[in-house]
Amino acid sequence: MGESEQDRGGEPTRADIEAALQRAVLDALSNHVAVLDERGVIIAVNRAWKQLGDNNGLSTDDYGVGSSYLGHCAAAARDGDEGAVEALDGLQRMLAGIGDRLHLTYPCHSPTEERWFRMTVTRVSGGGASSLVVSHENVSDYKRVEASLRKLSRAVDASPVSVVVTDRAGRV
């Protein structure tokens, strides 16, 4: 790879500026993001991805860059993680050129709390081979609210008394 102007002590090149902007945009995202090459190898991760690794005791010098994301999914699938089986299948299909987007919500509980994530995989094409952007959003709060609403609904359905819900003005 060639040396940039900045490496030689001069002004940053357009490529240097674009690379710095791309890194800043990636790091500004709150979702945990990894960019995969056409083989499913992690080529970049953002700050949130690294923080998740640090918070879960999974931090490494490279945070998975250079490793096979498909390999990680396959290992989780072998351990019985049904979400990983679905993720692996969807990723393989996308890498084969089938589909442009994948959405999957899966549990990823820690020893101290129940957590759920929504994975969104998007194809990025341009300048040669296509790559994938994998984004994980923590949706645990939404899942807890859904569970509470289901519990409330079951309680109302099982109640022997009538329940009427009104707004502040008393309208049903």
pLDDT at 127: 60
pLDDT at residue 129, rounded to an integer: 67
Question: Contacts by 114-122 with C-beta closer than 8 Å and gap 24+?
Answer: 114/140, 114/143, 114/144, 115/140, 116/140, 116/142, 116/143, 117/32, 119/87, 121/90, 121/91, 121/94
Per-residue pLDDT of the chain (172 residues; tens, 9 = 90+): 455 444 556 788 888 888 888 878 888 888 889 999 989 999 989 888 888 777 766 667 777 888 898 988 888 888 888 788 888 999 999 988 888 899 999 887 777 888 888 999 998 876 666 789 999 998 988 888 887 888 888 887 888 887 777 888 888 8
SS3 state at 116: strand
Residue 67 has a CB neighbour count (10 Å cut-off) of 15
Confidence at residue 9, expressed as pLDDT on a 0 to 100 scale: 65
Reference 30, options 45, 44, 43, 46; nearest CA is: 46
H/E stretch holding 73 reads helix 69-78
Reduce the DSSP state of residue 72 to 3 states and report it. Answer: helix
The model carries a pTM of 0.72
Residue 106's DSSP bridge partners are 117
Cβ atoms within 10 Å, residue 31: 18
Structure tokens at 121: 């995989």
The pLDDT of residue 119 is 92
CA–CA distance, 158 with 139 (Å, rounded to integer): 29
Residue 17 main-chain phi, psi, to 5 deg: -65, -45
pLDDT recorded at residue 5: 47
φ, ψ of residue 141 in degrees (nearest 5): -60, -40
pLDDT of residue 134: 92
Q: Which CATH number fits domain 29-158: 3.30.1330.60, 3.40.50.2000, 3.30.1330.30, 3.30.450.20?
A: 3.30.450.20
Which residue carries 């094409």 as its tokens? 125
Query: What are the φ and ψ backbone dihedral angles of 146, each rounded to 5 degrees?
Result: -55, -45
